[in-house]
Amino acid sequence: MAQPVAIITGAGRGIGRAIAVELAARGYRLVLVSRNENELKETAKLSDPKALIASADVADAQQLRSVVDKTLAAFGRMDAVVNNAGLAPVRPIEEITEAEWRAVLDTNLTAAFLLTQAAWPIFKKQNSGVVVNISSRAARDPFAGLGMYGAAKAGLNLLGLALAREGGPIGVRVHTIAPGAVETAMFRKLLTPEQYPTEKTLAPSDVAKVVADCITGPLAHTSGEVIWLSKTV
| Residue that wins the pLDDT comparison between 233 and 123 | 123
Asked if residue 183 has pLDDT above 90, the reply is no
Each residue of 47-59: pLDDT tens digit? 999 999 999 999 9
In terms of pLDDT, which residue wins out, 18 or 202? 18
Q: What domains sit in the chain, N to C, each tagged with a CATH number?
A: 5-229 (3.40.50.720)
Between strands 80-83 and 52-55, the pairing is: unpaired
Catalytic option among 149, 153, 159, 187: 149
Q: 18-27 b/e with 16+ CB inside 10 Å = b?
A: bbbbbbbeee
Query: In the 3-class helix/strand/coil scheme, how is 106-132 assigned residue by residue?
Result: HHHHHHHHHHHHHHHHHHHHHCCEEEE
Task: Spell out the residues 6+ positions from residue 150 whose beta carbon is closer than 8 angstroms to its own.
Answer: 136, 138, 139, 140, 142
CA separation for the pair 203, 206 (Å, rounded): 5
Asked if 196 is an active-site residue, the reply is no
